Structure 1
Amino acid sequence: MSIRKKIVVIGGSGRIGAQTVALLRASGHLVVAASRRMGVDIYSGEGLDGIMAGTDVVIDVSDAPSPAADIAFPFFQQAGANLVAAEIRAGVGHHVTLSIVGVNELKEQAYFRAKTAQEHIAAASDVPHTIVRATQFFEFLPTIVEGHTVNGVVQAPDALFQPIAASDVAQILADIALHRPRNAVVDAAGPHLAPFETLLRQYLRLTGDGRPVVTPAGASYFGQPVNDMSLVPRREFRIGTTSLNQWFAPQRRAA
């Protein structure tokens, strides 16, 4: 049986955070789901010292209020600096950051540059760390489809894609939090690798959406040029167990 740990989850009420909190609590750990509602503001630093007392592990799944450059970049820089400073004062032994596969090379998007800055703060601090870079979540597929639709046609980038279920990301984060810090990056991806257009077609079939999917020359990912390796792991990675069909099945039953 593992030793009971105190774990603070920053962004613990969000999609990934809430599931991570539930998994760790079910394993018998003392878990604090930090949020503004409980008086913790990582951007201002308010409440951080109070919740860090006695903390063994911090999992940062926070997000910026907006992906815009003038908001995301200062948010991740200030919040990241506040967070590691509070961890150092409290003697926290492991900082886990959730990031995005390929983020360090996708420099055309302001949000990705901001996430890279967040990673750098964690890696450069004196707190032992693990950075978990996940591929895009299945839950993000509706946004991807809408963001790539032009005149009723979905324009998929010419790239490989390996999305993952949010529940699998939470499971991986919870597991990594209970092990020794890697002081390195760990990638996480779903069980199936396929061309972007193939997975979008599969998703649209599941939803009953008849929009065609094409891969025109020069199609980008939200304005970011990509290739086959831009959005998928290039190193050994943790594999989620949930397929797209399995992830979608509860939604079909609820419809």
Structure 2
Amino acid sequence: MRVAVVGGTGLIGARVVRRLQDDGHDVVAASRATGVNSFTGEGLAAALEGAHALIDVSNSSYTDERGAQEFFYGSTLNLLTYGAAAGVAHHIALSVVGTDRLAASQGGYFIAKAQQERLIRESGRPYTIVHGTQFFEFLRTIADDATHSGVAHVADVLIQPMAADDVAAAVATSLTEAPAGDIVEHAGPDVFELGDLLRREMTFLGDARQVVPDPLGRYFGAEVGRRDLLPAPSARLAPTHFADWQGTAR
């Protein structure tokens, strides 16, 4: 099967590409690094020619609402339009567990992600939106965003993260299934206090900064409730535990 992976050279995209190639698929890794720009449309028609499925794991380099909205709106419209012209039979997009809740709490980046999802749902195209929880690989970035004056004041919330390899597996699995026409949630096997998990990661990395759970702390600009980052009980659980990932991934 011919599959175009948009964002195919990134953290998740490169993993998806390798997995699909190992499964025998004809895969096009579409990214700016390979001459394809989903936002401007450059190289997009050629990348999607003959593709049965389009997998969008691209991301905005902007985390502010305006920049992220501009990227996701333009890119998603292009992917849907070019995909329809190419006869793509399954549009698969990766997004974030809790996007709707985070967008409602004035989270700028998540407002953009919610808009992306809405465009896909309303497009009339056959689709699956894969919702993943936060990546283990992303934990230090969470701490960095919450750090002020050398102290990480993180939201006092629960988190159920997963390994990037498991995210890629979840995305690839969607290709073997019929378009869901809905959101399918995936999460890690264990629930943590965000502050406790970040302390473990910072200690492992030799990062001495203090991590303080803060009831008023925000998550990338969004106000978050205690359970807003957790999936529904029906979420599909990935196999990799944090301790196993931490011991073998680096």
Q: TM-score range by the shorter chain?
A: over 0.9
Match of 1:233 among 222, 231, 247: 231
How far off its partner does 1:147 sit? 2.2
Residue 152 of structure 2 is aligned to residue 154 of structure 1: yes
How far off its partner does 1:229 sit? 1.9
Match of 1:82 among 75, 78, 84: 78
**Alignment RMSD (CA, Å):** 1.7
Q: Which runs of 5+ in 1 are unaligned?
A: none
Quick check: 225-234 or 76-85, which moved more?
225-234
Say whether the 8 Å CA contact 1:203–1:244 is kept in structure 2: no
Quick check: 157-166 or 12-21, which moved more?
157-166
Q: Distance in 2 between matches of 1:251 and 1:44?
A: 35
Q: Distance in 2 between matches of 1:153 and 1:180?
A: 46
Which residue matches 2:56?
A: 60
Q: Distance in 1 between matches of 2:3 and 2:16?
A: 10
Match of 2:122 among 124, 130, 133: 124
Q: How does 1:18-37 map to 2 (within 5 A)?
A: 18-37=14-33
How far off its partner does 1:72 sit? 1.3
Which residue matches 2:244?
A: 246
Q: Distance in 1 between matches of 2:47 and 2:207?
A: 46
Instruction: Count the aligned residue pairs.
Output: 248
How far off its partner does 1:18 sit? 0.4
How far off its partner does 1:145 sit? 1.6
Which residue matches 1:204?
A: 202
Identity of paired residues, percent?
40
Q: Distance in 2 between matches of 1:36 and 1:164?
A: 27
Change in Cα spacing, 1:6 to 1:149, as seen in structure 2 (3 Å) is same
Equivalent AA in structure 2 for residue 228 of structure 1: R
Which residue matches 1:114?
A: 112
Other structure's SS at 2:100 match: coil
Which residue matches 2:43?
A: 47
Say whether the 8 Å CA contact 2:97–2:131 is kept in structure 1: yes
Equivalent AA in structure 1 for residue 48 of structure 2: M
**1:65-110 deviations in Å (ceiling 9; x for gaps):** 3122232111111111111111111111100000011111212221
Equivalent AA in structure 1 for residue 9 of structure 2: S
Change in Cα spacing, 1:156 to 1:65, as seen in structure 2 (3 Å) is closer
Say whether the 8 Å CA contact 2:155–2:194 is kept in structure 1: yes
Equivalent AA in structure 2 for residue 234 of structure 1: A
Equivalent AA in structure 2 for residue 232 of structure 1: L
Change in Cα spacing, 1:35 to 1:217, as seen in structure 2 (3 Å) is closer
Q: Distance in 1 between matches of 2:122 and 2:233?
A: 21
How far off its partner does 1:116 sit? 0.8
Q: How does 1:181-192 map to 2 (within 5 A)?
A: 181-192=179-190
TM-score by length of 2: 0.92
Quick check: 215-224 or 27-36, which moved more?
215-224
Q: Which runs of 5+ in 2 are unaligned?
A: none
Q: Distance in 2 between matches of 1:151 and 1:90?
A: 51
Other structure's SS at 1:215 match: strand
